[in-house]
DNA sequence: CTCGTGACTCCCG
DNA sequence: TCGGGAGCCACGA
């Protein structure tokens, strides 16, 4: 069950993203321990999003945009987000200054 | 062990 | 502002 620590952390981090907020691939990778493993986060989402029931739609690229190509999840992700109250600009981008999730250290 | 593969980023021109 | 190229990295075959 436990995969690598990195993967494990990524999964947990994504699970912790609250409704109405998003996080970037790079951010998650950094928090998980490898600032440069952003691509790995994408792979993890692709392979574990379902089995681990991850809120994959809350993960976007550093521009606040959806990385999935049209008819390959883009529309779906967009709907999930809007349904959670995340507003998308006309360019289809999210205002990260308002929706970016920042884990708090308590 | 080596090689190919990304739902990414960063760096330039 | 935008596009192309190179870097990076865990994972499955």
- Measured over the CA atoms of residue A29, residue A65, residue A51 and residue A16, the dihedral's sign is positive
Question: What confidence tens digit (pLDDT) does each residue in A3-50 have?
Answer: 889 999 999 999 999 999 999 999 999 999 999 999 999 999 999 999
A38-48 helix and A25-32 helix, angle to the nearest 10 degrees: 100
Nucleotides in chain C near protein beta carbons (<7 Å): 7-12
CA nearest neighbour of A31 among A43, A16, A49? A16
Residue nearest to nucleotide B5 (CA to C1'): A43
Q: Looking up tokens 């790079």, which residue turns up? A: A26
Q: Which nucleotide is nearest to A43 (CA to C1')?
A: B6
From the CA of A33 to the C1' of C8: give the distance in Å.
Answer: 14
Q: Does the pTM exceed 0.85?
A: yes
Report yes or no: A41 and A55 within 8 Å, Cβ to Cβ. no
**What are the tokens at A90?**
């006309």
């Amino acid at each position: 069950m436990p995969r690598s620590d990195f993967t494990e952390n990524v999964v947990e981090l994504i699970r912790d993203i609250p409704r109405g907020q998003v996080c970037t691939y790079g951010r998650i990778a950094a928090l998980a321990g490898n600032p440069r493993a952003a691509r790995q986060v994408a792979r993890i989402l692709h392979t574990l999003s379902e089995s681990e029931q991850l809120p994959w739609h809350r993960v976007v690229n550093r521009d606040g945009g959806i990385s999935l190509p049209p008819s390959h999840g883009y529309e779906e992700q967009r709907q999930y987000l809007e349904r959670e109250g995340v507003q998308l600009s006309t360019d289809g981008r999210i205002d990260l200054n308002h929706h970016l999730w920042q884990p708090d250290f308590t």
